[in-house]
Amino acid sequence: MKRGVKRFYKLVAVSSVDGEHALLLDGKAMRTPAKARFVLSHPLLVEAIAEEWRGQGEWIDTEAMPLTRYANTVIDRIEPRRGQIVEELSKFAAHDLLCYREAATVELMRRQTAVWDPWLAWAADRYGADLIVGRGLMHIEQPREALERIAQAIERHDSHRLAVLHAGVTITGSTLLGLAFVAGALDAAAAFAASRVDEAYQAEFWGRDAEAEARETRLLADLQAAARYLAQLPAA
């Protein structure tokens, strides 16, 4: 069994100065994997992260520290590359999962319509972004105005929520589901289920594959971890 790093500290504390909150391990300020200062502006978040470190046993289990991982991602990856991240997430909308529908199987068409249409309507109402729906896999040229409005919505997210949005979009394959997840309109389980309409339908006919199920379990766990991180942030 592969082990991580042996626990090298005894005491975990939080230092708060002028609205900046740092994590202290045996009195020493923690740093990110990229050696940046691990400083956050949200006290509830840093306290929750401190609990992750207090809860470690003889060996540090990084898989049991999702809040720490997300915070490191914000500091090391999101903040230095914010414009690039916004652009990457915005591009997803041009090929959003919800816009590509089954062209032959009536029951699958019905399920896609029932689950996905409400979130297309939600995006149109909330952001003024009306995306086009097509049948089959042929590329859909989405209206430029709709894509610009979605990009503007993404840009308005702070770095913490941008990290959560990145997880939501990449896990579900849908910018709209990701936005709804971060906005609190969908919880992690509902967002994930909405993204797996096709897979659930196919599994009814062909059975479930153990490897595919294990992958889905991991993805849902990742999305649930993102939801826990989001819950520590103050209301937007």
Domain boundaries, the chain: 12-65, 82-231
**Is pLDDT at 2 greater than 80 in this prediction?**
no
Q: What is the pLDDT of residues 183-207, one digit of tens each?
A: 999 999 999 999 999 999 999 888 8
With residue 49 as reference, give the H or E element that holds it: helix 43-54
Q: Above pLDDT 70, what percent of the chain?
A: 99
143 phi-psi bin (left φ>0, alpha ψ -120 to 50, beta other): beta
Residue 215 has pLDDT above 60, yes or no: yes
pLDDT category at 38 given cuts 50, 70, 90 is: very high
Q: At what angle do helices 175-183 and 106-127 cross, to 10 degrees?
A: 60
Classify residue 116 by burial, with Cβ atoms within 10 Å: 0-12, 13-18, 19+.
buried
- Give pLDDT tens digits for 62-84: 999 999 999 999 999 999 999 99
| pTM of the predicted structure, to 2 decimals | 0.93
CATH level 2 (architecture), domain 82-231 = Orthogonal Bundle (1.10)
Is the CATH number 3.90.1150.10 carried by domain 12-65?
no
- Which residue type is seen at 191? A
How many C-alpha atoms does 75 have within 13 Å on its Cβ side? 19
Residue-level pLDDT at 83:
94
The pLDDT mean for the chain works out to: 94
